[in-house]
Chains A and B, each alone.
Chain A
């Protein structure tokens, strides 16, 4: 059995390592070996597939990690080689694993968040500057209208709850950030008492989220966003529609500027092919 899949025992030399590092090592390798432990005679491709895909989505198997070969997987899971092959096919078809042939070939893990990141990157690169600008213009207008109304129509108890939600935003957890921020923004928009504007806000949020996740890794940006929201909620609580709207617009402008810069940066690395004439289908290769 390859060394990295050896089950760690108490007398292992790793025991002499620093305890917290050891706990991390034992935890993750125990989880890893649990991934590849025998499934049983009734083992089927789907069970193998699911065991591996769960490990990928929970981060136990990491992006770029090389999976055992078909033969090794079959032995580890206690299934036929053809079953292991079928499982790999399923994982490949869902984009969780990629198989490369050749000397350094094998099956490699593709983590979902990183795949999403790749998708966001290609979307932003391929989008025209005009379209990006118009999207953020639309978003600024709707968001500003929502907070302007909220300033005149929100009740103090609703603002208290908004302040609580603001305090609970996970600034230190990029993985949860976007989801919680979106929920917060929706709650704020709903204080406008306008169903139409809130629906529109949600729709635009969906469109922008894939692009905005590119910024989520940067802690300074998350912190800046929290500060902007603190100022914004204060303006709404002060019943100041003009300041609320102005703060929202300038906030969206900051975001728009960041996206435009990011777009330019991405294009500098891999230039977008010139748009072909309308007679030819446009083709942009994913990075």
Chain B
């Protein structure tokens, strides 16, 4: 590879990694605090949806307030079994008005989120994850990428216990707005794909977020260290 292009490629890798890294950092900032708050509020019957919302709201606001990345929604999604109500709860704020998510008003409160990727993968792997782009019919109702982080606490039996997932949503079009300029500077036709080969953003006019990328077209690809994402060049 021409050394000049290689330098730009490194810059591109760095820009993309920084973008998603900033998202995880934003959530990581308040993980410990939330973990401690949940651990100390664990007495039976005490941890209610309302109590959780009160604990999470100021923390979610930290993420919603930051200006480095275009966050659409943020909050905490509790482990399904934790509240003892038989169903889970999303402490979630989103949109320009930072409206609190009220699923019951949309008849969505019976949806079982434990099967959704942004919850399931962090629970199963214990690792942070980027899901999407996907149609987020539970929260944003838009084409979205969700960045999520599992939260574990040491419980009374001194075991590591999963208590839920902190997450933030970025609209697919905002990812495009932020990353497309970096792809353009690099010059080559480049596509960012997720772990199943779905396009996140592309400077190749044939590809838009949501399309399935044909790996046979790839000239060069580099996995983004620490993220389930790959940058592919098509020439």
Taking beta carbons and an 8 Å cutoff, which residues of A are in contact with B? Answer: 152-153, 155-158, 161, 164-165, 179, 183, 186, 189-190, 192-195, 198-199, 202, 206
Contacts and interface: CB of A to CB of B under 8 A. Distances in A.
A161 to B, nearest CB: 7
Given A183-B110, A193-B143, A153 B211 contact: yes
A224 B122 CA distance: 37
14 contacts: A152-B212, A153-B210, A153-B211, A155-B198, A157-B196, A165-B115, A183-B112, A190-B134, A190-B137, A193-B135, A193-B210, A194-B143, A195-B142, A195-B143
A152 B210 CA distance: 11
Contact of B196 (A155, A164, A199): A155
Contacts of B196: 155-158
B88 to A, nearest CB: 14
A195 B141 contact: yes
Contacts of B211: 153
A193 B137 contact: no
Interface in B122-159: 133-135, 137, 141-143
A152 to B, nearest CB: 8
Contacts of A161: 115
A190 B135 contact: yes
B32 to A, nearest CB: 32
A179 B107 CA distance: 9
A100 B79 CA distance: 48
A202 B107 CA distance: 10
Contacts, number: 44
Contacts of B28: none
B104 to A, nearest CB: 13
A107 to B, nearest CB: 29
A267 B33 CA distance: 62
Interface residues of B, number: 18
A187 to B, nearest CB: 8
B197 interface: yes
Nearest to A183: B111
Contacts of B137: 186, 189-190, 198-199, 202
Contacts of A157: 196
B84 to A, nearest CB: 18
A203 to B, nearest CB: 10
B144 to A, nearest CB: 8
Interface string B36-66: 0000000000000000000000000000000
Nearest to A205: B107
Given A155-B197, A195-B142, A199-B141, A206 B135 contact: no
A47 to B, nearest CB: 19
Contacts of B197: 155
Contacts of A193: 133-135, 143, 210
Nearest to A149: B210
B192 to A, nearest CB: 16
A202 to B, nearest CB: 7
Contacts of A158: 196
B7 to A, nearest CB: 34
B85 to A, nearest CB: 15
A137 to B, nearest CB: 23
A217 to B, nearest CB: 20
A202 B112 CA distance: 16
B135 A198 contact: yes
A179 B110 contact: yes
B76 to A, nearest CB: 23
Contacts of B210: 153, 193
Interface in B193-226: 196-198, 210-212
Contacts of B143: 193-195
A183 B110 CA distance: 9
Contacts of A165: 115
A153 B134 CA distance: 11
Contact of A194 (B111, B112, B135): B135
Contacts of A152: 212
Nearest to B211: A153
A156 B142 CA distance: 22
Contact of A155 (B112, B141, B212): B212
Contacts of B111: 183, 186
A196 to B, nearest CB: 9
Given A179-B110, A183-B110, A193-B135, 16 more contacts: A156-B196, A158-B196, A186-B111, A186-B137, A189-B135, A190-B137, A193-B134, A193-B143, A193-B210, A194-B135, A195-B143, A198-B135, A198-B137, A199-B141, A202-B137, A206-B107
A141 B29 CA distance: 46
Given A193-B143, A195-B135, A153 B212 contact: yes
Nearest to A165: B115
Nearest to B208: A193
